[in-house]
Amino acid sequence: MAEIYHDEDANLSIIQSKKVAIIGYGSQGHAHALNLRDSGVDVVVGLRPGSKSIAKAEEAGIKVASVPDSVKGADVVMILAPDQYQRTIWTEDIEPNIKEDAAIFFAHGFNIHFGYIKPAAGHDICMVAPKGPGHTVRRTYEEGRGVPVLVCVEQDASGQALDLALSYAAAIGGARAGAIKTSFREETETDLFGEQAVLCGGVTQLIEYGFETLTEAGYQPEMAYFEVLHEMKLIVDLINEGGLTKQRWSISDTAEYGDYVSGPRVITPNVKDNMKGVLDDIQSGAFAKRFIEDQNEGGPEFHRLRDEHAAAPIEKVGQEIRKMFAWNTENLDTDYTEGSAAR
């Protein structure tokens, strides 16, 4: 069983005695910065000149500086920029300016585990990774609750790296819910696998195939959309609340019976074999290499795939269907092809 720490296992005064630089002010960056500040921590946000986030951070009362200036006096540097940009920011802005004994924190192990960032031996290298989006991390903190976090240490130069990570976890509210001890390798490889094989790649491909199967059989696209995509939220919410058992308890007997007898016909054992192939590519570094090499060229494969999937028939049908939902009108004009909300 995993080791799980809570507030009583963490010494908040440790992080309160440090100067913390948060690199990035996106989904996670704003939540970490605000929660740390409200926990009595001296925080500065490091942003590149011209960043649209500068005004947002300053309006929230957070100190802002350039990335080099933000890290010069920092005892802890949390890097929350997107994976593909971290190594450049590290090489150009952080490594030349960081204190020799400053701790380096991440919320995902990609660049450390695959060797794209290699700090010197004098640094603690830690991870505090909330298992939820930044707005949830912030909202639950303000409510006196928290989002569970993963914590781990890759390099313990000070001999107290885990204590520092737990203190940071408590300051952002994560230890209220629970801080689960893991490793950079385990977090990185399971996170990438979950995204690719189930949560993102697996689910989206299953939805698209379901839509194509129904429309190719002559059913109306609108009906197909409702049955294979719209109702997905209901099912996922039930699973999130009480696992697969609650989901099956909540649906009709007809749906539950179909789950048991037809699910294995669609998701056959060869799918598990394919998943093992995906995991092999993650563990070997082949996926990371493909992603970074594509990003180095400006992301031609990435952008081609984004455009292809955005143009899929199910997306066009969905745009019209969602106009029927009065509660969803605030999102109707959003352009989702320009970048990730996680930035």
Q: Do residues 186 and 216 make contact, with C-beta atoms less than 8 angstroms apart?
A: no
252 annotated binding-site participant: yes
Domain that holds residue 36: 4-182
Question: What does the alpha-carbon distance between residue 115 and residue 110 come to, in Å, rounded to a whole number?
Answer: 8
pLDDT digit string (tens) for 71-85?
Answer: 999 999 999 999 999
Distance CA 323, CA 343 (A): 27
Residues 48 and 112 in one domain: yes
Query: pLDDT value at position 323?
Result: 86
**Is there a single domain that holds both residue 154 and residue 281?**
no
* pLDDT value of position 42: 98
Where is the domain boundary, 138, 154, 182? 182
Statement to judge: residues 154 and 280 lie in one domain? no
Determine, yes or no, domain membership for 337.
no
Query: Do the annotations mark residue 227 as ligand-binding?
Result: yes
Q: Are residues 102 and 231 in the same domain?
A: no
Q: Is the dihedral of CA 214, 215, 220, 225 positive or negative?
A: positive
Active site residues: 108
Together in a domain, 177 and 262: no
Same domain, 230 and 83: no
Question: Does residue 109 contact residue 187 with C-beta atoms inside 8 Å?
Answer: yes
Q: Is residue 332 part of a domain?
A: no
Does 336 reside within a domain? no
Q: Please answer whether residues 131 and 150 qualify as being in contact, where contact means their C-beta atoms are separated by less than 8 angstroms.
A: yes
Structural domain includes residue 19: yes
One domain, residues 36 and 123: yes
Report pLDDT for 339. 56
Q: Is 178 found in the same domain as 108?
A: yes
Select from 148, 182, 216 the last residue of a domain.
Answer: 182
In which residue are the tokens 């990435």 written?
302
Q: What are the backbone dihedrals phi and psi of residue 220, each rounded to the nearest 5 degrees, phi first?
A: -65, 135
Helices 269-284 and 184-193 pack at an angle, to 10 degrees, of: 140
Reading the block at residue 21, the tokens are 């630089």
Give the whole-angstrom CA distance, residue 236 versus residue 256.
Answer: 15
134 is in an annotated binding site: yes
Strand (E) positions, the chain? Answer: 4-5, 19-23, 42-46, 63-65, 76-79, 103-106, 125-130, 149-155, 179-181
pTM: 0.90
Task: Answer whether residue 207 is part of any domain.
Answer: yes
| Residue 167 counted as an annotated binding residue | no
CATH (domain of 60): 3.40.50.720
What is the number of other CB atoms lying within 10 angstroms of the CB of residue 102? Answer: 24
pLDDT score at 322: 87
Residues 149 and 272 in one domain: no
Q: Count CA atoms within 13 Å of residue 224 on its CB side.
A: 21
pLDDT the model gives residue 126? 98
User: What is the CA angle 69-71-72, rounded to 5?
Assistant: 65
User: Which of 153, 182, 211 marks a domain boundary?
Assistant: 182
Cα angle 221, 224, 230 (rounded to 5 degrees) comes to: 115
Residue 294, annotated ligand binder?
no
> Helix (H, G, I), strand (E, B), or coil: what is residue 78?
strand
Q: Is 256 annotated as a binding residue?
A: no
Alpha helices in 194-231 (DSSP H): 201-216, 221-225
3-state DSSP assignment of residue 44: strand
DSSP characters over 92-144: IIITTTS-TT-EEEESS-HHHHTTS----TTS-EEEEEESS-HHHHHHHHHTT
- Whole-Å CA distances, 38 to 22, 80, 236: 14, 19, 33
Q: How far is CA 80 from CA 36, 49, 63, 165, 258, in A?
A: 14, 17, 16, 15, 43
Q: Are residues 147 and 16 in the same domain?
A: yes
241 marked among binding-site residues: no
53 is in an annotated binding site: yes
Is the residue at 11 inside a domain? yes
In a domain, 147, yes or no: yes
The answer on 113 and 235 residing in a single domain is: no
Give per-residue pLDDT as tens, 150-203: 999 999 999 999 999 999 999 999 999 999 999 999 999 999 999 999 999 999
Q: Please check whether residues 300 and 205 belong to one and the same domain.
A: yes
Q: Check the annotation: does 340 bind a ligand.
A: no
Name the domain count of the chain.
2
25 is in an annotated binding site: yes
123, burial (CB in 10 Å: exposed 0-12, middle 13-18, buried 19+) = buried
Domain assignment present for 334: no
**Which amino acid, one-letter code, is at 116?**
Y
Q: What is the pLDDT along the chain (343 residues), one digit of tens a residue?
A: 889 999 999 999 999 999 999 999 999 999 999 999 999 999 999 999 999 999 999 999 999 999 999 999 999 999 999 999 999 999 999 999 999 999 999 999 999 999 999 999 999 999 999 999 999 999 999 999 999 999 999 999 999 999 999 999 999 999 999 999 999 999 999 999 999 999 999 999 999 999 999 999 999 999 999 999 999 999 999 999 999 999 999 999 999 999 999 999 999 999 999 999 999 999 999 999 999 999 999 999 999 999 999 999 999 999 888 888 766 555 554 555 555 555 4
What is residue 154's predicted lDDT score, i.e. its pLDDT?
98
pLDDT of residue 343: 46
Rg of the chain over all Cα atoms, to the nearest angstrom: 22
